[in-house]
Amino acid sequence: MTVTTNHTGISNRLLDLVPAAPAQQSRKDFTSDQEVRWCPGCGDYAILATVQGFLPELGIARENIAFISGIGCSSRFPYYLQTYGMHSIHGRAPAIATGLATSRPDLSVWVVTGDGDALSIGGNHLLHALRRNVNLKILMFNNRIYGLTKGQYSPTSEVGKITKSTPFGSLDRPYNPVSLALGAEATFVGRSIDSDRAHLTSVLRAAAEHPGTAFVEIFQNCNIFNDGAFDALKDRSSRDDVTLKLAHGEPLVFGAEGDKAIRRADDGSLEVVPAGSPGVLVHDATATDPSQAFALSRLTGDTHGVTPIGIFRSVDAPTYDEALNTQISDAREKQGAGDLMSLISGGETWTID
């Protein structure tokens, strides 16, 4: 597989297939004329601003970008971007985007979804998109609640969640979206936070550069139905002590004073130890085996007092769309372009005068 570098300096053999923008683009070029209608204070505003801000940096033509969404608050996203877009039906965006990306290698295709859309009604499509490694960028806004239907618990809500549909507390255990994606052997898995623009931009840029399916979980605050779900990761006084910022090739060290680190425990899981302890792990996002990335995904605030954000995994692997399009070009090269009449008159024929 040849890895080339395009005009942005980004190394991505698939992004190279997307035409470059003729001129420098700005955030304004990516802002549609539609009034944004999320609740005031919603975390979605920050994510939209970040995406509108970083898309011009990709240097690809605006008309060759498509955003596909399902149903839910997050899925209104495409309306606010001056790109091609489709607001589809609940849970199906990965399937629709798979058809678009597979048939149009010259497009950069993005999926915007939420925890309910992606993990509940659309769980099957998400798993299979990740497994196939279609060239899609899937942004999953996780607010751990159903917003658009006004506040039922979601597949990422904590056990015991009191909501309109669970007045006695929710019973089912939540998904860990990053663990789920790694379990499906997704080739790119990242996590970021709506309010940390610089970090979110860096993860999204890496996702855009990734050839294949990139899955990014974005912690997003729903200030109406689940306000403060991620406060510990946002509060200036506490966040550095509970957030592990993953950096490829760097030791897994965190804390306001850089005083905590991660190493492998005797049972194979990961544990938090004082920095400087022997055996502190170095993060390798490119490891072919997803085991360590998975182990990292098991670190949570509840269990270990720390939540990793950043890029858990980024490995180069054949993509579904490339492979399919290669089958087509190979068939044409070997057999020539198809001829309709010789196809339909194939097999045994007889002539009547």
CB of 203 to other proteins, least distance (A): 25
Instruction: Name the amino acid, one letter, at 281.
Output: L
Residue carrying the six token digits 């990965």? 94
Q: Which of 36, 61, 232, 247 binds other proteins (CB under 8 A)?
A: 61
Does 45 bind other proteins (CB under 8 A)? Our answer is no
Size, binding site for other proteins by CB under 8 A:
61
Q: Which helix (H) or strand (E) holds 296?
A: helix 291-297
Indicate whether 27 belongs to the interface with other proteins (CB under 8 A).
no
Q: Is residue 34 close enough to count as binding other proteins by CB under 8 A?
A: yes
Q: Which two tokens stand for residue 341?
A: 């009449």
Q: Compute the least distance from the CB of residue 195 to other proteins, in Å.
A: 26
Going by C-alpha positions, the residue among 216, 169, 173, 221 that lies closest to residue 195 is 221
Binding to other proteins, residues 91-120 (CB under 8 A)? 92, 95-104, 106-107
Q: Which is nearer to other proteins, 127 or 193 (CB)?
A: 127
Give the CA distances from residue 192 to residues 112, 178, 218, 237, 302, in Å, rounded to whole numbers and listed in that order.
15, 11, 5, 19, 18
Question: Is residue 237 within the footprint of other proteins (CB under 8 A)?
Answer: no
Q: Considering the complex, what minimum distance in angstroms separates the CB of residue 168 from other proteins?
A: 32
89 binds other proteins (CB under 8 A): yes
Name the minimum Å distance from CB 293 to other proteins: 24
Q: Whose Cβ is closer to other proteins: residue 94's or residue 308's?
A: 94
Is there a contact between 131 and 320 (Cβ–Cβ < 8 Å)?
no
* Beta carbons within 10 angstroms of residue 353's beta carbon: 2
Instruction: Choose, by CB under 8 A, the member of 46, 68, 180, 218 that binds other proteins.
Output: 68
Bridge partners of residue 251, in order along the sequence: 282
344 binds other proteins (CB under 8 A): yes
Distance of closest approach, residue 77 Cβ to other proteins, in angstroms? 10
Question: Taking a C-beta distance cutoff of 8 angstroms, is the pair 60, 15 a contact?
Answer: yes
Q: CA-to-CA distance for 321 and 98, rounded, in angstroms? A: 8
Fill in the amino acid letter for 116.
G
Q: Can residue 74 be called a binding residue for other proteins (CB under 8 A)?
A: no
Stretch that binds other proteins, among 47-55, 80-88, 150-158, 238-246 (CB under 8 A): 80-88
Point out which span in 230-238, 271-279, 310-318, 325-333 binds other proteins (CB under 8 A).
325-333
Q: 14 with 322: CB under 8 angstroms?
A: yes
| Smallest separation (angstroms) from other proteins to the CB of 276 | 48
Contacting residue, 66, 140, 229, 306, with other proteins by CB under 8 A:
66
58 or 293: CB nearest other proteins: 58
153 near 141, Cβ under 8 Å? Answer: no
What is the arrangement of strands in the sheet containing 253-254, beginning at the earlier edge strand? 253-254, 260-264, 270-274
Interface region with other proteins, contact rule CB under 8 A, candidates 164-172, 288-296, 308-316, 340-348: 340-348
Q: How far is the CB of 72 from other proteins (least distance, A)?
A: 13
Residues 127-156 that bind other proteins (CB under 8 A): 127-128
Q: How far is the CB of 55 from other proteins (least distance, A)?
A: 12
- Using CB under 8 A as the binding rule, whether residue 303 contacts other proteins is answered as no
Report how far residue 201's alpha carbon sits from residue 175's, in angstroms, rounded to the nearest whole number.
25
Residue 123, token pair as written in the block: 């769980």
Burial of 13 (0-12, 13-18, 19+ CB in 10 A): middle
Write the CB contacts of 130 (distance below 8 Å, at least 6 apart in sequence).
Answer: 181, 184, 185, 186, 213, 215
* Neighbour count for residue 228 (Cβ, 10 Å): 11
Under rule CB under 8 A, which residues in 239-268 are in contact with other proteins?
Answer: none
Give the residues lining the site for other proteins (CB under 8 A): 19, 32, 34, 61-66, 68, 78-79, 81-89, 92, 95-104, 106-107, 124-125, 127-128, 324, 327-328, 330-332, 335-338, 340-341, 343-353
